[in-house]
Amino acid sequence: MTAKANVLIIDFGSQVTQLIARRVREAGVYCEVIPFNRAADALVRLEPRAIILSGGPASVYDAQAPLAPPEAFDAGVPVLGICYGEQLMAHQLGGKVEGAHAREFGRAEVEIAGISPLFEGVWQPGQSYPVWMSHGDRITTMPPGFSVIARNANAPFAAIADEARRFYAVQFHPEVVHTPDGARLLQNFVHRIAGIEADWTMSAYRSEAITRIRNQVGKGRVICGLSGGVDSAVAAVLIHEAIGDQLTCVLVDHGLMRHGEAAEVVTLFRDSFNIPLVHVDASQLFLDGLCGVTDPEEKRKTIGRLFIDVFEAEAKKSGGADFLAQGTLYPDVIESVSYSGGPSVTIKSHHNVGGLPARMNMKLVEPLRELFKDEVRMLGRELGLPEAFVARHPFPGPGLAIRIPGEVTPERLAILRQADVIYLEEIRRAGLYDKIWQAFAVLLPVRTVGVMGDGRTYDHVLALRAVTSVDGMTADFYPFDMAFLAQVATRIINEVKGINRVTYDVTSKPPGTIEWE
């Protein structure tokens, strides 16, 4: 990662810690998220100019409650505590925290009780403003040197400040959209209080990343697996700009891609960017490997293993490779390490995450591991990738395999691929594609009796899914109107043999969950 981070976010297990990072990045300031028990080392390594303490599920008076390293308060830089972070500051700096008389979860209002640079240009003394609360404990005695700058009936110390030390703390969550002015408060903290300029740009990141890639790779050779998605494509173009023909891209056509996707990737890389590309038709290999496999996690592991096998074979054919490039993103990095510091649930078990077999003797190049998904798109535009490619919906590595619960067969793939094409055609026709983060069809392991014309059918049920999001950390279903859904369902049932019923999934993705598939 980058040697220095302007803002260090110490994570105590909040489901929305990543959103703090997003808001700071949106303010044009680079930051990193570090688990609390690695924070002391990170303070030395990153030399941050400001520190933010996240929320979390613990109570500060628990025997095993996570604490901030004392160095965080001795570093001489501004500190902002959020929710549990506020209680932690009070607890560690001489105040008192107790169980709340009334828990507070959801929308609330706070009254501004004092003038503070944290509220400058946003909130006025004596006025009340909406916020989002999520706490079961509260501060009952402030630490020495602090004063109240916001309160409400349930949280008399809803925001406190020690202006002399530039220590601030809020009981509410400014990072979530339910606190309408929260992003501006975080901007005040990083810009007005910490004095950090908005210098986090894709142009600067591009130059820095190219230098890092060159320093890491030297004269070595890199092999990059293209999945057809945005992440691997942006990683490949960035690496090629850094080291040129030392990079070889491999497109593994595993038979699980969307309609026409392999040809599109080949055209983009060979014709538009003149990047060395090996196109491997391994569809039969993958279909054979997935034969009889029904467990989704086993599918992922099978696909990941076969990807590695193909990469290894192609690396040998091309004269060997020293590095394997991957499109790992920052959410993968954050979520793959729990706040307690131990290994958490594996976020992705296919080829993007999980390391390499020792036999490959290759090191990883992960030039996007500091970026969120929307930042990857920004970098793609900076690198000159076509907008139609950069703006395309995310498509996880397991591809259509994970969208077929149960066994993957050529027949089921053909049905799903055709239905998916119709669904996306109708979304584009309605002018909705760019309003939706991700849309796809799922061929359910269910068959149902239906009537088509004068005959009875016994065919598959297809589920449609579409969600809105900014960075993929949280998402909500897209509210299609019934006329649109009726049009899509009619086309699919009429044009795709093997489907006689279509349903729409209205599941949301709350903070802290992993991924859709």
Same fold, 7-193 and 202-391: yes
According to the annotation, is 181 in a ligand binding site? no
Please give the class, per CATH, of domain 202-391: alpha beta
Q: If 0-12 CB within 10 Å is exposed, 13-18 middle and 19+ buried, where does residue 127 land?
A: exposed
According to the annotation, is 336 in a ligand binding site? no
What letter represents residue 173's amino acid? H
What CATH number has the domain spanning 410-504? Answer: 3.30.300.10
- Please identify every residue annotated as catalytic: 83, 173, 175
H/E stretch holding 149 reads strand 147-151
Rg (CA), the chain: 25
Instruction: For residue 372, give the nearest of 343, 329, 339, 423 by alpha carbon.
Output: 329
Contacts (Cβ under 8 Å, ≥6 apart) of 45: 3
Q: Which CATH number fits domain 7-193: 3.40.50.300, 3.30.1050.10, 3.40.50.880, 3.30.420.40?
A: 3.40.50.880
According to the annotation, is 231 in a ligand binding site? yes
According to the annotation, is 230 in a ligand binding site? yes
Specify the pTM: 0.76
According to the annotation, is 5 in a ligand binding site? no
Residue 5 CA to residue 11 CA, distance in Å, equals 15
Q: DSSP letter for 106, please.
A: E
DSSP of 240-293, one letter per residue? HHHHGGGEEEEEEE-S-SPTTHHHHHHHIIIIIS---EEEEE-HHHHHHHHTT-
According to the annotation, is 228 in a ligand binding site? yes
User: Are the C-beta atoms of 333 and 294 separated by less than 8 Å?
Assistant: no
According to the annotation, is 217 in a ligand binding site? no
Residue 363 CA to residue 325 CA, distance in Å, equals 9
Neighbours of 3 (CB within 10 A): 9
pLDDT, tens digit only, all 517 positions of the chain: 444 669 999 999 887 888 899 899 999 999 989 999 999 999 999 999 999 999 988 888 888 899 999 999 999 999 999 999 999 999 999 999 887 666 667 788 899 998 999 999 999 999 999 998 887 788 889 999 999 999 887 788 989 999 999 999 998 999 988 888 999 999 999 999 999 999 888 998 899 899 999 999 999 999 998 887 889 899 999 999 999 999 999 888 899 988 988 888 888 888 888 888 889 999 999 999 999 999 988 998 898 889 888 878 887 887 778 898 988 887 777 665 544 443 333 334 434 444 566 666 788 899 998 888 888 999 999 999 998 889 888 876 678 998 999 999 999 999 999 999 999 999 999 999 999 989 999 999 988 887 666 667 888 999 999 998 866 666 789 999 999 999 999 999 999 999 989 999 887 655 434 343 3
Domain residue ranges in the chain: 7-193, 202-391, 410-504
